[in-house]
Structure 1
Amino acid sequence: MRKLTLPILMAYGGLAVPLAALGLPLVVYLPPFYAGPVGLGVGTVGIIFMIARFWDIFTDPIMGMIVDRYPSRWGKRKHWIAIGVPVLLIASWYIFFPGDSQPPIYLAFWLFILYLAFTFVGLTQQAWGVDISQSYNDRSKVYGWREIGSIFGMMSVLALPAILESSGANFKEMIGGMGYFFIIALPLTALFGLLIIPDDKKSEGTSFPKIKEIPLLLKGNKPLQRTLAIEFLCSSGSSISGATYIYLARYVFDMGDISSRILFLYFLAGLLIMPFWMKLSYIIGKSKTLLISTLLCSLTLSAYIFIDTRDALPVLIALTILYGIGYGAPFTLTRALMADIVDADELRTENKRPGLFYSILTTFSKVGAAIAVGAVYSYLEWSGFRPGEVASEEVKGIILFVFAVMPMILYFGASLLCIGYELTSEKHKEIQKALEARNNLSN
Structure 2
Amino acid sequence: MDALVAGDTMPEAGAGRVGRVRIALYGAANLPTSVVGLPIALYVPAFYSQNLGLSLAAVGALLALSRLTDVVTDPLIGILSDRWRTPFGRRKPWMVAGTPLMVLSLWMLFVPDSAVSIAVWSALGGSGVDNLYLFVWISALYLSFTLVDLPYRAWGAELSPDYDERSRVTGWREAFGYGGTMMSLIIPLAIAFGLARPGAENALYGVAFAVLVLMPLLTFPAIAFVREPPIRGVTTPHVTWARGLKIVWGNGPFRRLVICLTFFATGISMTASMSFFFVQRVMEQAFDRYAIFVLAYYISSTVAIPVWFHISKKLGKHRTVVLGIAWLSLWSSFIPLLGPDDFALFFVIMLLKGSAIGALVFLPTSMAADIVDLDTLRTREQRTGLYFSLWGMVNKGATALGVFIATAGAAYMGFDPQSEANDATAKMSVALLYSIIPAIIACIALPLLWRYPLNRDRQERMRGFIERRDARMREVAETGTNA
Q: Would you say same fold, with TM above 0.5?
A: yes
Cα pair 1:246 1:256 within 8 Å, conserved: no
Which residue identity does 2:297 align to in structure 1?
Y
**Counterpart of 2:10?**
none
Matched ranges for 1:328-339 at <5 A: 328-339=358-369
Does residue 357 (structure 1) correspond to residue 384 (structure 2)? The answer is no
Matched ranges for 1:211-250 at <5 A: 211-250=241-280
Percent identity of paired positions between Structure 1 and Structure 2: 25
What secondary structure is seen at the aligned counterpart in 1 of 2:51?
coil
Larger Rg: 2
Residue deviations 1:205-255 (CA, integer Å, cap 9, x gap): 622323332343355533112210121111101100000000000000011
Q: 1:55 aligns with which of 69, 84, 87?
A: 69
Q: 2:405 aligns with which of 375, 397, 402?
A: 375
**Counterpart of 1:13?**
27
Distance 1:218-1:195 versus aligned 2 partners, 3 A rule: closer
Distance 1:36-1:320 versus aligned 2 partners, 3 A rule: same
Matched ranges for 1:135-154 at <5 A: 135-154=162-181
**Counterpart of 2:45?**
31
Cα distance, 1:163 vs structure 2: 2.3
Q: 2:211 aligns with which of 157, 162, 182?
A: 182
CA distance in 1, matches of 2:252, 2:42: 33
What secondary structure is seen at the aligned counterpart in 1 of 2:43?
helix
CA distance in 1, matches of 2:373, 2:151: 17
Q: 2:225 aligns with which of 185, 192, 196?
A: 196
CA distance in 2, matches of 1:345, 1:58: 22
Cα distance, 1:148 vs structure 2: 0.4
Structure 1's unaligned 5+ residue stretches are none
CA distance in 1, matches of 2:179, 2:395: 21
Q: 2:134 aligns with which of 90, 107, 123?
A: 107
Structure 2's unaligned 5+ residue stretches are 1-14, 115-127, 475-483
For normalisation by structure 2, the TM-score amounts to 0.88
Cα distance, 1:132 vs structure 2: 0.9
Cα pair 2:43 2:200 within 8 Å, conserved: no
What secondary structure is seen at the aligned counterpart in 2 of 1:40?
coil
Does residue 116 (structure 1) correspond to residue 152 (structure 2)? The answer is no
Cα pair 1:154 1:267 within 8 Å, conserved: yes
CA distance in 1, matches of 2:330, 2:238: 43
Matched ranges for 1:19-418 at <5 A: 19-99=33-113, 102-166=129-193, 167-200=196-229, 206-257=236-287, 258-307=289-338, 309-390=339-420, 391-418=422-449
**Counterpart of 2:117?**
none
CA RMSD of aligned residues (A): 1.7
Cα pair 1:252 1:400 within 8 Å, conserved: yes
Farther off after superposition, 66-75 or 149-158: 66-75
CA distance in 2, matches of 1:182, 1:256: 26
Deviating beyond 3 angstroms after TM superposition, the runs of 4 or more aligned structure 1 residues are 200-205
What secondary structure is seen at the aligned counterpart in 1 of 2:341?
coil
Residue deviations 1:177-207 (CA, integer Å, cap 9, x gap): 1111111111111112112211247788622
**Counterpart of 1:435?**
466
Which residue identity does 1:138 align to in structure 2?
E
Cα pair 2:231 2:382 within 8 Å, conserved: no
Cα pair 1:68 1:205 within 8 Å, conserved: no
What secondary structure is seen at the aligned counterpart in 1 of 2:417?
coil
Farther off after superposition, 95-104 or 266-275: 95-104
Farther off after superposition, 138-147 or 94-103: 94-103
